[in-house]
Amino acid sequence: MRQIEKNIIASFDLVKVDIRKIQEDVSTLNRNQERIMEMLSDAKIQDAELSRRIREITEMVTQLRNGMKRSTSRPAPKRTAKTYVSSKEGTIFHAPQCPFAQNIKPKHKIIFQSKVKALNKGLKACRCVK
């Protein structure tokens, strides 16, 4: 009987060692879980902050785009009368500052008050005309 008792006691000692090891592992897992939960909480806060910043940036981009659309859709402010120049026998009209327009002699020069008037006369626009 003595041998059986020794074997049982040795088995219980091994079980105690295993239980202590499992308790340490569970304790380590709990600490790791707490750290992971903290990291997730921090990540949620950062995610909320990033989401808020993305919304702000999106709103600013939208406002800028709307501002650009409004500014491009507005009629151009009235400028001083823009004139265009052509030769009496020419087929192209030019802006007055164009080098080709400056070569036209005054007695052959025709002045148009708008592009439309020059186009209605059958003239084509020079590259200088925007």
User: Tokens 């008792």 belong to which residue?
Assistant: 5
Edge-to-edge strands, sheet with 84-87: 109-112, 84-87, 92-94, 124-125
Segment 61-119, tens digit of pLDDT: 888 888 776 555 555 555 556 899 999 999 999 999 999 999 999 999 999 999 999 99
Are 102 and 130 spatial neighbours (Cβ–Cβ below 8 Å)? Answer: no
Q: And the tokens for 63?
A: 């406002």
Distance, CA of 93 to CA of 104 (rounded, Å): 11
Site of tokens 């590259």: 127
Q: The whole model's pTM is what?
A: 0.39
The overall longest dimension of the chain from CA atoms, in Å, is 139
